[in-house]
Structure 1
Amino acid sequence: MTLKKHLSILAAGLVIGAAALQFSTTASGDDGWVTLLDSSRKGDWDEVGKANWEMKDGALVADKLDGKDLSYLVSKTQFKDFQIRAEFWTDEDANSGVFIRCEGNKMIDSKVCYEVNIFDKRPDPTYGTGAIVDVGKVDPMPKAAGKWNVYEITAQGPHFVVTLNGQKTVDAQDAKHANGYVALQYGSGVVKFRKVQIKAL
Structure 2
Amino acid sequence: MNISRLCFNIILLQGICIFGAFAQPPNTLTSQEKALGWSLLFDGKTFNGWKKIAEGGWEIKNGELLAVKPENGKQMDIITNAQFDNFELFFEFKISKETNSGVKYLVTNDYEAQKGTFLGLEYQILDEMNFKYPERGELRSLASLYDLISADKKNPALLEHWNIARIIVNKNHIQHWLNGRKVVDYDRSTESFKSLIEKSKYKSLKNFGQSKKGHILLQNEGSPIAFRSIKIKWL
Question: Counterpart of 1:95?
Answer: 100
Instruction: Normalising by structure 1, report the TM-score.
Output: 0.76
| In 2: Cα distance, 1:152 partner to 1:104 partner | 24
Is the counterpart of residue 122 in structure 1 residue 132 in structure 2? yes
2-side partners of 1:148 and 1:68: how far apart? 27
Do 1:129 and 1:144's aligned partners in 2 also have CA atoms closer than 8 Å?
A: no
Q: CA deviation at 1:52?
A: 3.4
Matches for 1:41-52 after TM superposition, within 5 Å: 41-52=46-57
Q: CA deviation at 1:48?
A: 1.4
One-letter identity of the residue aligned with 2:138: P
The structure where strand makes up a greater share of residues is: 1
Q: Which residues of 2 match residues 173-184 of structure 1 at below 5 A?
A: 173-175=187-189, 176-184=210-218
The match for 1:153 among 146, 151, 167 is 167
The alignment status of 1:187 with 2:221, answered yes or no, reads yes
Q: In structure 2, list runs of 5 or more residues that go unmatched.
A: 1-32, 111-115, 190-209
TM-score after normalising by structure 2: 0.66
Give 1 or 2 for the bigger CA radius of gyration.
1
SS of 1:29's equivalent in the other structure is helix
* Two-structure CA RMSD over aligned residues (Å): 2.1
Higher-helix-fraction structure: 2
Match for 1:86 among 78, 91, 94?
91
The 1:30/1:140 distance shift into structure 2, 3 A limit, reads closer
C-alpha distance 49-189 of structure 1, shift in aligned 2 (>3 A): same
Q: 1:110-144, CA deviations, whole angstroms, 9 ceiling, x for partnerless residues?
A: xx300111022235121111101133211346444
Structure 2 letter corresponding to 1:186: N
- Structure-2 residue corresponding to 1:104: 109
| Corresponding residue number in structure 2 for 1:8 | none
Count of aligned residue pairs for this structure pair: 171
- Partner residue in 2 for 1:30: 35
Q: 1:144 to 1:127 in 2, by over 3 A?
A: farther
Q: 1:38 to 1:122 in 2, by over 3 A?
A: farther
Identity of aligned residues (%): 26
**Which range moved further: 43-52 or 143-152?**
43-52
